[in-house]
């Protein structure tokens, strides 16, 4: 039986989709576990960032377990469906270490992550129209912002996979890691994020998500409102002091 594994590496939660026999497909049991893992990330004040990946080297995630797809309720119910895009709703950054094909629900997980690092064998594919199923989880709402519109429409209309090289060239992925080092390279980026002010990182993610939902004016409002709210925060004082003292800042873990 597949499972979702979570381990803590310093301030980083590494979440692994472990169902190699089925190319890391996620069944209802695993969806509940993934929900729980995200909730634990959100509630643990020492965790500043999460990385999600697939077990082994054959796939990142192939989406919903096909044995459950004969019941459409398994695709869109509150837990089984939303587990695939819950990462976008977390206050903390979630990075995808895409170590193989990310198809269907696996593509939704990658799309709703804040950053993506790919391995040479990674690929991305929308599959819903091939099954007569409506695309879900931000494939309409987020994909046109993550890719040039023409490429997004090509993926949505034709279900043509996007290669790792194309993902990097179009900015959908931030970098390509050598084979076998995708998780390691993604954790390196997560460590850099963990060094920044966690309060400010959260407000940035919140502001970007609101901007995607409601437009650019919201982004300006979040910037100015957050600046007023946090300009005297202990993190601001620590960050400025560290600069003048020529040392790395020591930002405290925030209350939830």
Q: In what order do the strands lie in the sheet with 162-163?
A: 101-103, 123-125, 162-163
Domain range spanning residue 10?
3-194
Residues 25 and 57 in one domain: yes
Residues 103 and 47 in one domain: yes
With respect to residue 253, please indicate whether it lies within any of the assigned structural domains.
no
Residues 124 and 156 in one domain: yes
C-alpha closest to that of 81 among 156, 143, 138 = 138
Share of the chain above pLDDT 70, in %: 95
With respect to residue 237, please indicate whether it lies within any of the assigned structural domains.
yes
For 143-189, write each residue's pLDDT tens digit. Answer: 999 999 999 999 999 999 999 999 999 999 999 999 999 999 999 99
With respect to residue 251, please indicate whether it lies within any of the assigned structural domains.
no
With respect to residue 167, please indicate whether it lies within any of the assigned structural domains.
yes
Report the predicted TM-score, pTM, of the whole model to 2 decimal places: 0.92
Q: What is the number of structural domains in the chain?
A: 2
What is the average pLDDT across 201-224?
87
Residues 42 and 98 in one domain: yes
pLDDT at 75: 56
Residues 111 and 156 in one domain: yes
Residues 40 and 64 in one domain: yes
Residues 137 and 238 in one domain: no
Q: Of 194, 210, 232, which marks where a domain is finished?
A: 194
With respect to residue 80, please indicate whether it lies within any of the assigned structural domains.
yes
Cα(110)–Cα(172) distance, rounded to whole angstroms?
10
Residues 189 and 235 in one domain: no
For 27-58, write each residue's pLDDT tens digit. Answer: 989 999 999 999 999 999 999 999 999 999 89
Residues 97 and 160 in one domain: yes
């Amino acid at each position: 039986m597949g499972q979702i594994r979570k381990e803590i590496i310093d301030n980083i939660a590494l979440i692994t989709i472990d169902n190699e026999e089925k190319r890391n497909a996620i069944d209802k049991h695993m969806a509940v576990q993934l929900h729980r893992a995200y909730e634990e990330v959100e509630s643990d004040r020492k965790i500043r960032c999460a990385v999600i990946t697939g077990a082994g080297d054959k796939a990142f995630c192939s989406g919903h377990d096909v044995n459950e797809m004969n019941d459409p309720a398994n695709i869109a119910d509150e837990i089984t469906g939303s587990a695939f895009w819950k990462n976008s709703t977390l206050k903390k950054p979630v990075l995808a270490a895409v170590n193989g094909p990310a198809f269907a629900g696996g593509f939704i997980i990658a799309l709703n992550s804040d950053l993506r690092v790919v391995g040479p064998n990674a690929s991305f594919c929308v599959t819903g129209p091939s099954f007569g199923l409506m695309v879900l989880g931000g494939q309409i709402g987020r994909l046109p912002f993550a890719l040039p519109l023409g490429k997004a429409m090509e993926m949505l209309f034709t279900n043509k996979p996007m290669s790792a090289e194309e993902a990097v060239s179009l900015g959908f992925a931030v970098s390509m890691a050598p084979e076998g080092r995708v998780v390691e390279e993604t954790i390196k980026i997560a460590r850099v994020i963990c060094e920044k002010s966690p309060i400010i990182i959260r407000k940035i993610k919140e502001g970007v998500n609101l901007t995607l939902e409601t437009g650019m004016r919201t982004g300006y409002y979040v910037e100015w409102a957050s600046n007023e709210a946090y300009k005297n925060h202990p993190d601001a004082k620590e960050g400025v002091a560290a600069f003048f003292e020529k040392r790395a800042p020591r930002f405290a873990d925030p209350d939830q």
